[in-house]
Amino acid sequence: MASSPILSLASSTASSALPCRRRFLHNLKATSNQMTFLGNDHINSKQSFFRTSMSVAVENSKFTDITMAPPDPILGVSEAFRADTNEMKLNLGVGAYRTEDLQPYVLNVVKKAETLMLEWAENKEYLPIEGLAAFNKATAELLFGTENPVILQQRVATVQGLSGTGSLRLAAALIERYFPSSKVLISSPTWGNHKNIFNDARVPWSEYRYYDPKTVGLDFDGMISDIKAAPEGSFVLLHGCAHNPTGIDPTPEQWEIIADVIQEKNHIPFFDVAYQGFASGSLDKDASSVRMFAARGLELLIAQSYSKNLGLYAERIGAINVVCSSSDVAHRVKSQLKRLARPMYSNPPIHGARIVANIVGNSDLFSEWKEEMASMAGRIKSVRKKLYDSLCAKDNSGKDWSFILKQIGMFSFTGLNKAQSDNMTNKWHVYMTKDGRISLAGLSSANCEYLADAIIDSYHNVS
């Protein structure tokens, strides 16, 4: 006899884990519930059916072998911050911009673009798999510059992605499918999600040296020798600017040497550009590493994000760009990126794409964006300087704190170890990741001296 899929699912799911006799009794019970459910006393039997099936389902879950996932190391910091009632508490864990009053910030230029979009009342039809054409054009041109040969020769395959993370994930899927014997080299340390992304895409990775704890600076020699030692044709993941978590970027001369080695070894550069314009305040300056690699005629991948520079964190807007040797190759690569995207999420969201396209496509809004971006970058630079000044003024030990000024972007590696970072949180109520990273975007000038006291105490009094 045919039965409702819901009813048969409930009874078979619940009963299959039971021993034989109990399963028989259970089925009998479920069947009688099912029968009364179909009888006259509709409401009572409906309640009793759901009570029976729910309690059985909980006792015999098919998911009991699933263990508790560890909390996300960055998002967990915010949860702990919220639970702290101390009035001096500071959240320097999460990488989101805050105003001088430590409030989240929606850019005025975004509000203006959204007002226009409301007036235009455009429809919400599906986008094509590759995303909004006007966005894809704008994002590639922002990255390379409108007159760049790679744009003029149509050598860039651009596909709108689900912000930086989703764009990296799509690129990882491309690597997994078309370069199954290649691995990705990632910096040590790197943004925590990089490893998750490549793990889930089943792309092997290994680390290259990047951070030197002795100088709280770049381990350039280590980086170069690890990139040299990697198997030919590896993908080398590079942070285009404002390296996360360290805030330490190579100098222009060092970038040239990195490009030389990558070229010699036939590696494929893979840039993660999550902070264009947000690091230095200039879109062009922050794209200079990527443009230098493109000018050498190399093929490369670039993931972009508009979370930070346009404050569109929750809109999930970004892109993956693959610079190819010819427009023909780019055309084919784009078709495969679309093929990978289709079963993952079908097509991307429209709202953030329209915001970016409308801002970049309107000269007034574009200029206003650049001003607002420069002012966000400027506020971060000014608290960085104030923190440095406070450290120098308060610390009599002769320690050189100048590494803080050499870093760029919203993050600063303080050089504090795990125990010292714990002291920052437990004693001073300063919430930060345990690798010693602080987000200067969560700091106001009023709090710099307090933070300096906390750092000095943790550095000198905790080993």
Ligand X SMILES: Cc1ncc(COP(=O)(O)O)c(C=O)c1O
As a whole number of angstroms, the distance between CA 390 and CA 296 comes to 43
The residue (of 250 and 318) whose beta carbon lies closer to ligand X is 318
As a whole number of angstroms, the distance between CA 300 and CA 259 comes to 11
The residue (of 45 and 439) whose beta carbon lies closer to ligand X is 439
Q: With 0-12 CB in 10 A as exposed, 13-18 as middle and 19+ as buried, what is 172?
A: buried
Instruction: Give whole-number Cα distances, 371 to 96, 143, 162, 362, in Å.
Output: 19, 18, 26, 14
User: Binding residue for ligand X (CB under 6 A) from 280, 305, 421, 433?
Assistant: 305
Structure tokens at 413: 């590696």
User: Binding residue for ligand X (CB under 6 A) from 11, 148, 163, 433?
Assistant: 163
Nearest to 168, CA basis, from 191, 144, 151, 145: 191
The residue (of 56 and 287) whose beta carbon lies closer to ligand X is 287
CB of 42 to ligand X, least distance (A): 49
Yes or no: say if 315 and 349 are a contact pair by the CB < 8 Å rule: yes
The distance between the two most distant Cα atoms of the chain, rounded to a whole number of Å, is: 87
CB of 246 to ligand X, least distance (A): 11
Instruction: Give whole-number Cα distances, 463 to 51, 399, 459, in Å.
Output: 57, 16, 7
Which of the ranges 55-63, 158-166, 223-231, 252-260 carries the binding residues for ligand X, by CB under 6 A? Answer: 158-166
* Main-chain dihedrals φ then ψ at residue 271, nearest 5 degrees: -95, 140
Q: Which amino acid is at 128?
A: P
CB of 70 to ligand X, least distance (A): 19
Considering the rule CB under 6 A, would residue 358 count as an interface residue with ligand X?
no
Q: Choose the catalytic residue: 112, 308, 334, 386.
A: 308
Instruction: Give whole-number Cα distances, 206 to 167, 229, 265, 359, 441, in Å.
Output: 20, 11, 16, 39, 30
The residue (of 305 and 358) whose beta carbon lies closer to ligand X is 305
The residue (of 309 and 390) whose beta carbon lies closer to ligand X is 309
Active site residue 272: yes
CB of 327 to ligand X, least distance (A): 28
User: Which run of H or E residues covers position 271?
Assistant: strand 268-273
As a whole number of angstroms, the distance between CA 44 and CA 52 comes to 12
User: Binding residue for ligand X (CB under 6 A) from 164, 281, 311, 436?
Assistant: 164
As a whole number of angstroms, the distance between CA 384 and CA 440 comes to 7
Count of residues near ligand X by CB under 6 A: 13
Long-range contacts of 288-293 (CB under 8 A, 24+ apart): 288/252, 288/255, 289/238, 289/240, 289/241, 289/250, 289/255, 290/143, 290/144, 290/240, 291/144, 291/145, 291/148, 292/252, 292/255, 292/256, 292/259, 293/259, 293/262, 293/269
CB of 228 to ligand X, least distance (A): 24
Q: Would you give the binding string for ligand X spanning residues 247-286, x where CB under 6 A is met? A: -------------------------x-x------------
Which of the ranges 64-72, 162-170, 227-235, 341-349 carries the binding residues for ligand X, by CB under 6 A? Answer: 162-170
Active site residue 72: no
What 3-state DSSP class applies to 180?
Answer: coil
The residue (of 95 and 415) whose beta carbon lies closer to ligand X is 95
Which of the ranges 83-91, 262-270, 305-313, 394-402 carries the binding residues for ligand X, by CB under 6 A? Answer: 305-313
CB of 303 to ligand X, least distance (A): 7
The residue (of 274 and 323) whose beta carbon lies closer to ligand X is 274
Considering the rule CB under 6 A, would residue 421 count as an interface residue with ligand X?
no
The residue (of 191 and 459) whose beta carbon lies closer to ligand X is 191
Considering the rule CB under 6 A, would residue 307 count as an interface residue with ligand X?
yes
Nearest to 204, CA basis, from 224, 222, 186, 229: 186
Active site residue 457: no
As a whole number of angstroms, the distance between CA 338 and CA 196 comes to 22
User: Binding residue for ligand X (CB under 6 A) from 131, 247, 311, 318?
Assistant: 318
Considering the rule CB under 6 A, would residue 95 count as an interface residue with ligand X?
yes
Considering the rule CB under 6 A, would residue 165 count as an interface residue with ligand X?
yes
Contact residues for ligand X, defined by CB under 6 A: 95, 163-165, 191, 239, 244, 272, 274, 305, 307, 313, 318
Residues assigned a catalytic role: 191, 272, 308
